[in-house]
Amino acid sequence: MNSSARSVAPGLVVAVDGTSGSGKSSTSRGVADRLGMRYLDTGAMFRAMTWWLLRAGVDVHDPTAVAARCAEPAIVSGTDPLAPTITVDGVDVATAIRSDEVNAAVSPVSAVPEVRSRLLELQRAVIAAESAESGIVVEGRDIGSVVVPDAPVKLYISADAAARAVRRAAEQGGADVAATQESLLARDKIDSGRATAPLTMADGAVHIDTTPYTLDEVIGLVVALVEDVGAHP
């Protein structure tokens, strides 16, 4: 935790939604660190579920099969913004859930209502437990609209598709930018069009387009917003 972190109001929840590759994960971790808050990556939970289903031999494109098995894995998320962890049945899967195989399968798994219901329960339990003393920054695609609709701070983070592709390709060690952009846009379409908890900007959310800003600048903008809503009671 940042030794110079400023305290925030107990129970404060910052809900961060947005598109893939927009910088919401790095922003969320940075804000949590600066303000001495906890951090929850809900996307990692969906990836962990997907990883488990693939390992279990479940057809991830069969919603009925996915629904039948999604209650089985024990998924545990760590909330340290500087070293977030995720385990499935006690196995560290932080690296495994970023594989191409999981990338290709996470959208259909995330669209299954039973999966979203199961993980929503887990997410709310983590938020209730971890926000009590230091507050928590929660990032995903339906945080402000579904998971914590009464969050005092709601953000929707986006960026130009080309900029997102360059950033994500760099994160992946120099992947093809054009192919990465196509993949990101496909993911956006799936997430925005699904029937259950689609990606959308929640009522009352502040929209931040990160395209023209550095990461540090975006973190500064969000920290200022959090302080504006009374982070220092």
- Please state the residue numbers annotated as binding site: 18-26
Task: State the DSSP string of 31-48.
Answer: HHHHHT-EEEEHHHHHHH
Binding site per annotation, positions for ATP: 18-26
Place of tokens 């290709």: 104
Strand partners for 156: 17, 207
The amino acid present at 17, given as its one-letter code, is D
Separation of alpha carbons 210 and 231, rounded Å = 23
* Burial classification of residue 73, based on how many CB atoms lie within 10 Å of its CB (0-12 exposed, 13-18 middle, 19 or more buried): buried
- Spell out the residues 6+ positions from residue 168 whose beta carbon is closer than 8 angstroms to its own: 20, 21, 175, 180, 184
Q: Which amino acid is at 178?
A: A
The three-class DSSP label of residue 112 is coil
Report which DSSP code applies to 196.
S
Q: How far apart are CA 190 and CA 184, in angstroms?
A: 10
Contacts of residue 54, Cβ cutoff 8 Å, sequence gap at least 6: 60, 101, 102, 105
